[in-house]
Amino acid sequence: MRPIIGSSISRMLFAALTVFAVCAIPAVAQEASGKFTLVKEVRWGSAVLPAGEYTYALEHQTGQVLFVRNVNGRTNAIVLVKSASLVNEREHDRLVLQRSGDDWFVSSMVITNLGQQLSFGAPSNHREQPTKVAALSTP
């Protein structure tokens, strides 16, 4: 026969840890967010984003996924991060745009509060052209 007190304490401890773990998930899931403005249409992964104001949120639950949403609600994109590298603390939040033919695409995004530069896939017909930088802002 098992002692009742030990069993009750074990169940309460398990319940407390479960509640703590569930409450902690949202805090870990979204690690960065902010907004930016595009002055012209750009390609970002497989998405085409028209000029406008956007918000972003970076999720780390199942690998790095970036959610991009137009503030008017008409355009949304889910972009997979190809790779991430460390940046120094003197960097500024920004989008790095590169040109491929007549099109512009987002090649990377620097998020200084994470200390990372996120890189995204380039179009297959990518040719090195001038780079533009768009500033990011955090809420």
Task: For 27-71, write each residue's pLDDT tens digit.
Answer: 444 478 999 999 999 999 889 999 999 999 998 765 689 999 999
Computed over every residue of the chain, the mean pLDDT equals 76
Q: What angle do CA 88, 86, 81 make, to 5 degrees?
A: 135
This prediction has a pTM of 0.65
Asked if 130 and 137 touch (Cβ cutoff 8 Å), the reply is no
Asked if 97 and 104 touch (Cβ cutoff 8 Å), the reply is yes
Query: For residues 56 and 114, what is the distance between their CA atoms, to the nearest angstrom?
Result: 14
